[in-house]
Amino acid sequence: MDLLAAQALDLGVQAVGVAAASAAQDLQLAFFAEATRRGYRRGEFAVPKILAGPDAASEIAEWPCDIVLNGITGSVGLAPTLAALAAGRTVALANKESLVAGGPLVLDALGGDPDRLVPVDSEHSALAQCLRGGRRDEVRKLVLTASGGPFRGRRRDELAAVTPQQALAHPTWDMGPVVTINSATLMNKGLELIEAHLFFGVPYDDIDVVVHPQSLVHSMVEFTDGSTLAQVSPPDMRLPIALALGWPERVAEAQPPMDWTRSQALTFEPLDEVAFPAVELARTAGRRGGTAPAVFNAANEEAVAAFLAGRLPFVRIVDLVAEVIAEHEVVDHPSLDEVFATERAARDAAQRLIRRESERESA
């Protein structure tokens, strides 16, 4: 809170949105405390408007600006994405879950201008850069790279007892807890597979996933003449964020480049689909379309929260998502209300399975 207040003061931020009313009060107090600490007097600093509540992020997303960067975790980011697009903004999208949950609704909201949705996710930024290298009818496939997470190389039976602390130790990226657990289960790559299909309109059959432990090649595009273009840079989000904010222009010195004077290896290996079935599950949900991807994501969000709270074993995360999907009757071409209702039902179903699992464990 103190850091946010200090940053808001430094940047002269006009408005801040927070989910909880108590957080709004804390932020206001932190803001005035920081201004006092700096010796500012009334009138010497701009007081940002602090919006609170479940609609705060959507309200902020509608504010007049050049571009909205959605860096919220979870499909709770869908409403702000849609609000920003409806207000005519361009959206730089880190929040992949909003595209997965509400894909066709988000694409419709672009009003025929695909440039209003710009990828921030490192793989999709890489793909967008590589796609500049040829015409769309020259693209044979997209290749998404995956670090493989902290448990790369382990068999399924070796994953049974892994702890949240182990799963949170990502080998190459420093990220928030949900996306980090998703990287460990490979659910992140499943979400990114659906995200790539929606961003670039490439069929699921033509999107591959390959494990690349160094996270230096952020993704690749293979063209019909046999050429593959790869985007390479150190694992650092400053580059994709800067590129998204300035798209299609590059921002000079966005981050330090690769050091090609140093010996280093770039390695690639196939994904172990038995130990990590998340990508195949995502492919099935994505191909099915309708509400299936929203269920995939919502059930996963619940399972990840339960794993982090010590209420669900790691290997059960993906199993549970598969079970919730199996129970779900897909609605084709859902409205926003139908997406929300589907998500609620998927979360309830996931919670029931998690409770049953905990009861079985404690019996």
Ligand X SMILES: CC(=O)[C@@H](O)[C@H](O)COP(=O)(O)O
93, 117 Cβ separation under 8 angstroms: yes
Helix (H, G, I), strand (E, B) or coil at 219: strand
Q: Write down the least CB distance from residue 257 to Mn ion, Å.
A: 20
DSSP secondary structure, 306-343, as one string: HHHTTSS-TTHHHHHHHHHHHH--PPSS--HHHHHHHH
- 243: Cβ–Cβ under 8 A, 6 or more apart, which residues? 125, 129, 250, 251, 254
The verdict on 175 binding ligand NDP (CB under 6 A) reads yes
* Residues numbered 228-247 forming contacts with ligand X, rule: CB under 6 A: 237
Q: Does 173 bind ligand X (CB under 6 A)?
A: yes
Assign 146 to helix, strand or coil: strand
- Does residue 19 touch ligand NDP according to CB under 6 A? yes
203 binds, among ligand NDP, Mn ion, ligand X, none (CB under 5 to 8 A by kind): none
Contacts to ligand NDP from residues 70-99, by CB under 6 A = 71-74, 76, 94-97
Q: Which is nearer to ligand X, 183 or 342 (CB)?
A: 183
Number of residues that bind Mn ion (CB under 5 A): 3
Could you say which residues in the range 149-168 bind ligand X, by CB under 6 A? Answer: 149
Measured in Å, how far apart are the chain's first and last C-alpha atoms? 42
Looking at 35, 61, 143, 146, which residue binds ligand X (CB under 6 A)? 146
Nearer to ligand NDP, 76 or 322 (CB): 76
CB of 228 closer than 8 Å to CB of 143: yes
User: Is there binding between residue 147 and ligand X (CB under 6 A)?
Assistant: yes
Residue with Cβ nearer ligand X (123 or 301): 123
121 is a contact residue toward Mn ion (CB under 5 A): yes
Other C-beta atoms closer than 10 Å to the C-beta of 34 total 21
Please check if 95 is assigned to a binding site: yes
Is 170 annotated in a binding site? The answer is yes
